Structure formats: structure tokens, C-alpha cells
Amino acid sequence: MIGDLGVTDATALADLVARREVSPSELLDAALAAVEVRNPAINAVVLMQEGVARQAIADGLPPGPFRGVPFLIKDLGIEAKNFPSHNGSRLFANTVYPGDSSIFQRIKATGVVTFGRTTSPEGGIGAATEAAVYGGPTRNPWNLEHTSGGSSGGAGAAVAAGIVAFAHGSDGGGSVRIPASSCGLFGFKPTRARLPDGPYAGEGWAGMAIDGFLSRSVRDTAVMLDACEGADLGAPYVAPPLVRSHSDAIARPPRRLRVAICDTTLTGEPIHPEVAEAVRAAGRLLEGLGHTVEPARPKADVAMMMRAWTDIVGVGTALSIRSKLGDRAPRSNEVEGVGRGAWAYAQTLHPTRYLEAVGEIHAFGRQMAGFFDTGPDILLTATLAEPPAPVGRFSHATEDYLGYRVGPEGIFAYSPFCAVFNASGQPAASLPLGWSQSGLPIGIHLAAAFGQDELLISLCAEVERAAPWAAKRAPMDG
């Protein structure tokens, strides 16, 4: 849809609307036509509400920065009154909300035209999106045999396929950055509590989960973050205030920075050679821009963090299931294997383990804060340890929850970087700078100290200017 109009991102689409070269209704028509043609192959867009979108246009869209631009929200969380949700699960299919969440209110105020939801894995606990409630896996527009990532896999696929210019996602262990890496997009995870969670939730996964966006450009994400940032009423904690806006930050490059580069995992294990070379190439790019790049990695207890993350998410999954079933065990026609395994695993934990795990996450955050306080401004790694996985590799069929998460072929082995920054609360981003020999995207991960969102997004914009990626498009978005 975007390429057909000769533009690259949502900001450019909004400019066409502002200049009356195209109407919001025409953009919606184009997005719906793209869904009809492209979605059957990728299975990314679900629960469409065309009538709601057309009524919003008829009622008059807010005069926000994205007035008239088609938009999709993730089918997990982000409660919205006129958008029923499956939440990636048969157990929660056709959930209806009495009102809009704070973040959706802020998204609507930008003037976007929301017309549906995008697929997510059940419970949001996978690096692939293959939920049974949608009747099949969500596929990668770059290669349909590979995953688009998770848990915002539908959002990543919809944007990469050119159905929308950008889309809402959320990130509790890499769920924005993993699809960004898999689909050749930009994905930014803000500092903990930068965006509102209420009023239907106080926090997600002990504060590790936060909303975000999948976009083709840094500027689209920056403007949307500015529109949505800030605590909502009654928030349990807030992020450090911004000195400038994200949009102001990307208008000029940052000071010359100290960058730590790590072309292994954060515990020193090797990663896929093509991915490791993409990391080194990104380091050379930053050096060419005048930044100081030196090998280093934090000495934080990653293994402790992974265990704590796994236990917190297991308890969170069990709590979600309990809200529907009480103390009864979930059946196979209600909850998929990984969810049933998480529920069973949670029953084995001591009643004090949850708070102990939260304490370990907080201790880990202090370790990571120390790394940035005494060393680099930026940590450069891969986003994933290998190119996008084949469809089916991370199916939710298994009931071995621990093996699925922390086993030798599990999610953490595949994605050993992203969850680190959910646990620490620090801002992190995936940039589409690398490509495998087979033509699959390889994301490069940049992270900064807690609260340094402006510094990080400024660097991302500088990199985008030096190595533009907008011209690279998935085959089906021709």
C-alpha cells in the first residue's frame, strides 16, 4: 500500500493527507485492499473493524501528526472498546472491553485510522507467532517459510508486507525488537514506565513489559512515542522525564559516544557467523561516524536474570489462566502446550518465589546500570543470535515450558539479548542493518543507560541517515 503511493513511512502518508493529495478514506481503501491481497499468505491481520474505521473518519479525525494514516493494534493487551480481542488465545477469544486503555486513547489522538488487530502468540511468550486461535502461523513477508518473530509478529509482518506504514506492538522480552529484526524494520523499546499501562493493568510482568511500535523509519516511532509518553493516572512508578522530545532528539546527531561492541552472546557464546559479521559491520559504521567502538560486555548475571524472567512469566501466565478457569487445570482445547506447561510449572514454585524473582530482576538492573555508569554510553550487539527461524521451530505445541524458554534450542538461545533490557528497564532498539546471504533481515541491537531514550533514538536516527534502509522492501511489498 505504501509503495504504491510512492512514499516510505507514515509521516509521508500524513503529509499527503495534509496536502489533500489523498483522503483518509482512500488510504483506508488501499490498506483494506492490501489486506485482501497480501494477508492470506502471511496471516497477520485479524479481527478487522472496517465499520469502526469508517465511522471514525466520518466523525472527524483528530488533527494529530498522523491524521488519516491507517493503523493496526496488537491482539494482546491494549484494551480498546470497539476492537474485540482474542489475546492470542482460544481461552480469551472475543474479549470485549468496556473502554479504551490510556495508550490507545493517546494513539487515537494522533489521528490514525485503526481498522483491526495483528496476531500474537498465546500469552505473548514466544519469539514466533503461531497461535492456534488464528488457524495457522504468521509468516515472514521476506520468506514465507520463516517466522516474522514474536510476540508482535503480526505487526511486523503487516508493516513489512506494506499493509500499513507502522503498527502498535508491545515488548516484554523482545516482542517489538524480535519482529523488527525478523522483518527488516525499526523497533524501539523505551525505558521502563515511559508509556502508560492503565487503567486495566498496573504493570506487565513485574514492569518488564511495555508498549512500542514497529515502523519503517525512526521519525515515525519518535513522533508516536512523543504522543504516547508519560504516566497515566495512578501509575505505580514513572520514567525519568525527557529533557527534550524524541522528535527533537532525532533532529540532530548525538555527541560522539563510547560504544561497547559484543559479537558473541553477553555470556561469550558464539552466534551465527553472518550475524556476528553484521555486528562488526555496524561497529565499523559507527566508527566511521566518529564514535569510539571497543569490545566489551557487561559482567551482569544473565543466567540469574533468565531464570527470574522465566519464573515471573510462568506465574503471570498461570494468573491469566486462573482468571478464566479458577484453580482447574487448562485443557488442550483451551490453552496451547507452552501455556499449559507454564501453568503446571507455576504450581511447583514456592509461594515466595515470585517476589524473590522480582528481587533478582532488580539486582540485575543494578548490575546493568553499573556497566553503563562506569563504561560505555551504548552497547552494540545483534538483536537475535541467528537469522529468522523457520516456521514451526518455536511452535507452542510442547508442554516443556522450561525447555522452550531456557533449553539449548530454546527462546533464550535464539534471542539472548533482548530480555536483558526488559529486565534492566533500559531503552533498546533494533535497526535493520544486516542481511543474510539468503536475503533474510538481520537486526542490530543498540542499548543505552536507564532514562537515556533521547540519546539512543538520536543515535538511531544518525545511523539511519548514514545507512538508509527504507529502499529495502520485502518481495510481496513490490
Q: What is the DSSP string of 298-355?
A: ----HHHHHHHHHHHHHHHHHHHHHHHHTTSPPPTTTS-HHHHHHHHHHHHS-TTHHH
74 given a catalytic annotation: yes
Active site residue 215: no
Cα 113 to Cα 41: distance, rounded to the nearest angstrom: 24
Q: What is the pLDDT of residue 8?
A: 85
pLDDT at 3: 64
Residue recorded with cell 502468540: 121
**Burial grade of 66 (CB within 10 A; 0-12, 13-18, 19 or more):** buried
The mean pLDDT of 436-465, rounded to a whole number, is 98
Looking at residue 100, what is its pLDDT? Answer: 98
Give the C-alpha separation, 60 to 72, whole Å. 19
Residue of 6, 135, 100, 114 lying closest to 53 (CA atoms): 114
Integer Cα distance of 289 and 23 in angstroms: 40
**Tens of pLDDT along 181-197?**
999 999 999 999 999 99
Q: Which three cell numbers stand for residue 14?
A: 500524513
Domain assignment present for residue 350? The answer is no
Domain coverage including residue 71: 3-301+359-477
Options 74, 152, 170, 181, the catalytic residue: 74
pLDDT in tens, 82-111: 999 999 999 999 999 999 999 999 999 999
- Residue 349 domain-assigned? no
Please, which pLDDT band fits residue 432 given cuts at 50, 70 and 90? Answer: very high
Spatial separation of the C-alpha atoms in residues 322 and 326, rounded to whole Å: 4
Does 314 map to a domain?
no
Angle, vertex CA 345, rays to CA 399 and CA 74, nearest 5: 70
Q: What is the pLDDT, as a whole number, of residue 286?
A: 98
In a domain, 193, yes or no: yes
Which one of the listed residues 101, 152, 175, 430 is annotated catalytic?
A: 175
Catalytic, out of 151, 152, 181, 430: 151
Band of pLDDT at residue 458, cut at 50, 70 and 90: very high
Question: Is 330 inside any structural domain?
Answer: no
332 catalytic, yes or no?
A: no
Cis peptide bond upstream of 141, omega within 30: no
Is residue 325 a part of any domain in this protein? no
Domain count, the chain: 1
354 within a domain of the structure (yes/no): no
Provide the residue type at 300 as one letter: A
User: Is 184 within 8 Å of 467 (Cβ atoms)?
Assistant: no
Which residue, among 210, 170, 224, 174, has the nearest Cα to 9 in the 3D structure? 224
In which element (H, E) is residue 362 found? helix 353-374
Residue 320 belongs to a domain: no
Judge contact between 468 and 431, C-beta under 8 A: no
| Residues 114-168 pLDDT 10s | 999 999 999 999 899 999 999 999 999 999 999 999 999 999 999 999 999 999 9
Backbone phi, then psi, for 303, in 5-degree steps? Answer: -60, -45
CATH, residue 243: 3.90.1300.10
